[in-house]
Homo-oligomer: A and B are copies of this chain.
Amino acid sequence: MLVNCVAYENGRKVADIPVEQVSEWLKRPEAFVWVAMKDPAPEELEVMAQEFDLHPLAVDDAKNGHQRPKIEEYGESLFTVLQIIELKGDDIHVAEVSIFVGPNYVLSVRRGTENGFVAVRERSEREPHLLKNGAGFVFYAIMDNVVDRYFPVVDALEVELEELEEQIFADDSPRESIRELYQLKHKLMVMRHAVEPLIEVTHKLYGGRVPGVCVGTQDYFRDVHDHLLRVSQQLDGLRDMVITALSVNLSMIAMGTGEITKRLAAYGALVAVPTLIAGVYGMNFKHMPELDAVWGYPVTLAVMVGIDAVLFRGFRKSGWL
């Protein structure tokens, strides 16, 4: 689906243009064209491929989706795939945007998300002095927008871990803790797969030999790179703590078992010792003087209770109960 197709000149919007005129506008040296698509059909992409003269391998990737994040140079133009991460309830949802950038065009193809780049376009149109930088700046603005969406997700995952930590040390439902730690680890992996591949490639947009379309906006791409490093550092820290939390949880479980065994032993003793005494006085020996005494029964009961009281206090003190 075509979302927008606009021609700009000198940092200002000139006109919404029909798709078929794109190749016309690309011939004007001063203009650039910014097209946004959403979940396009293959045929729509084919039309774009002709208008913009895109490389078939890149078009294939944009058609198929489910790519690794990457930035590839095809001659003077760049083909970029970014993953958009969104929180849906407790799960994270991965959408994708493919961006074709040439000296005077930007084509963004978004898949699987409702949240587009209207805000980016509006902000850019409000700042013509920046938009004058052309396709490179638009490319930066979209990337920056995608990367900035990572932060609230990582922050949410950090909160999730903190809640899990509480739960673990409160020894509350360890079964749930394990499952949620496992799922958190999985989410971190998904995010890492979105972020890590970008770090290396964004580096090439401002350091060393920079692709033509990024020349003049290197400082901006370094900023994106820095943001990615920040997300990545948070993810690494989270991952490290999740692994530790998993092993800590195991320790808590093992300790729990030890404590149950302790209690089992203690309560067992509280029952077994009086049982032994009862057994003794249940023996059928003829000559057991205590049996004939009037005080025999009550004293025996008292002794049982007394022993248990002593044991109970002992167990309490040593922490077995």
Contact = CB atoms under 8 A, between A and B. Distances in A.
Interface in A224-276: 226, 229-230, 233, 237, 240-241, 243-258, 260-265, 267-269, 271-276
A296 B286 contact: yes
A197 interface: yes
A18 interface: no
Question: Chain A contact residues: over half helix, strand or loop, or mixed?
Answer: helix
A300 B276 contact: no
Contacts of A273: 271
B284 A301 contact: no
The residue in A272, A284, A286 that gathers the most chain B C-beta atoms within 10 A of its C-beta is A284
A150 to B, nearest CB: 14
B284 A291 contact: yes
A237 B193 contact: yes
Contacts of A272: 268, 271-272, 275
B269 A269 contact: no
A189 interface: yes
Contacts of A70: 226
Contact of A260 (B165, B219, B265): B265
Interface residues of A, number: 83
B255 A175 contact: yes
A65 to B, nearest CB: 12
Contacts of A271: 269, 272-273, 275-276
Given A57-B219, A248-B178, A287 B278 contact: no
Given A181-B248, A282-B283, 19 more contacts: A55-B219, A68-B226, A68-B233, A182-B244, A185-B244, A193-B233, A249-B251, A250-B251, A250-B254, A253-B255, A264-B265, A268-B268, A278-B280, A280-B301, A281-B285, A283-B300, A284-B284, A287-B294, A287-B297
6 contacts: A68-B226, A165-B182, A178-B248, A185-B244, A197-B229, A284-B284
